Structure 1
Amino acid sequence: MDQSAQSVLGDATESAVVLLVPDAEPLVDPHRQQFDVSASWGVPAHLSLIYPFVTPRQVDDAVLTGLADLLAAESPFDCTFTKTAWFGDEMLYLVPEPDEPFRRLTRIVAEAFPDHPPYRGAHGDPVPHLSIGQRRQGDLAGLEQAQEVLCAAMPLRTRIDTAALYAGTREAGSWQQVCTFPLGRPTR
């Protein structure tokens, strides 16, 4: 593990394995900055595979190599975001289509790290989603307005080809990328 990864992990209290969606940033970032706590932490547009993941002090070369090998065995894939959806009236998100590649990657990582199920197992088979915001970070009217803007700008087509390990605390600006994992490309 390189020095910069060790530095990020040294101050962190949590970690997450995410699929990065940089093509979504121009569309979602203004809304995420206002309504999504993970954006305030410093995590870019993403779909979570495993959150929370191993504690930062448990991240070592074996964990990083294990993740790299798992993810290199999976091919990059295309997806389209054509609509928004809600978890109740509390959280607005973008729906990826198809969702099976996201579900498969979540299962693969969860099976390899069974002590760290997605969302601590609270949601069974989690719904793949790109979070836009939580009502507790703003208000319902603001999220509904964001939804209108997002729906008018879709569809958003993108290629998912990179996963990343992020770590930080629950403080603003504290999350940083520990390392990336290209899909479909061996690291050795």
Structure 2
Amino acid sequence: MASEGSARHPAGRTALVIKVPEAEPLVGEWRRRFDPAAATGVPAHVSVLYPFLDHARIDGPVIEALRESLGAHAPFELSFRRCGRFPAMLHLVPEPDGPLRALTRGVVDRWPEAQPYGGRYADAAPHLTVAYSPDPGVFDTIETALTAGLPFTTRVTAVQLVSWDGAQWHDAETFPLRG
């Protein structure tokens, strides 16, 4: 999920995310310091789709379609073995990324108006955001600290719909992966 600051998120924005609680001991303090989303209720996660539909558009049929689409996928494991960098962002790289891309593709196929990150990137590579900074030296320090705690693994069993109320992100619905 983008962490660009609350002023850039209109109330009613939603996202589909996979929470990664196993990452919190490793990245929690760094995220609190360098990822504004951490202060708005966003735990360590990998986005499936950000932004999704406006909250006002999410009704019973949309929930059922999400339940069907996401539920068709089997649970899977992700490993985090290394850090990666995008311009001004340090992240952990989830592997394999194929199951994550398949989840995203399934939702986008059903709602083509909901492109990952609004269609800003040719390849919206799955990632777990750790920090934002214009200073690569900050990333060098954080990456050195993170490397000592890698690798770790998580089992993905659900996708969470979260909604922005203008000040905080809140859990709205959970979609189990059933396969």
Q: State TM-score, norm by structure 1.
A: 0.84
Between the aligned partners of 2:64 and 2:37, the Cα distance in structure 1 is 26
Relative to its length, the structure with more helix (as a share) is 1
* Partner in structure 1 of residue 132 of structure 2: 134
* Partner in structure 2 of residue 158 of structure 1: 154
* Partner in structure 2 of residue 122 of structure 1: 120
5+ residue gaps, structure 1: 1-10
Q: Secondary structure of the residue that 1:153 maps to in structure 2? A: coil
Q: Secondary structure of the residue that 1:17 maps to in structure 2? A: strand
| Paired positions, count | 170
* Partner in structure 2 of residue 144 of structure 1: 140
Residue by residue over 1:59-109, the C-alpha shift from the partner in whole angstroms, topping out at 9 and shown as x without a partner, is 111111111111111001011100001003x10000011111111111111
* Partner in structure 2 of residue 110 of structure 1: 108
Native 8 Å contact 2:11 2:166 kept in 1: no
Q: Secondary structure of the residue that 1:116 maps to in structure 2? A: coil
Letter in 2 for 1:108: G
5+ residue gaps, structure 2: 1-9
Matching of residues 1-188 of structure 1 within 5 Å? 12-88=11-87, 90-135=88-133, 139-169=135-165, 171=167, 174-184=168-178
Letter in 1 for 2:157: D
Native 8 Å contact 1:43 1:166 kept in 2: no
Percent sequence identity is 39
Q: CA RMSD in A?
A: 1.7
Between the aligned partners of 2:65 and 2:38, the Cα distance in structure 1 is 27
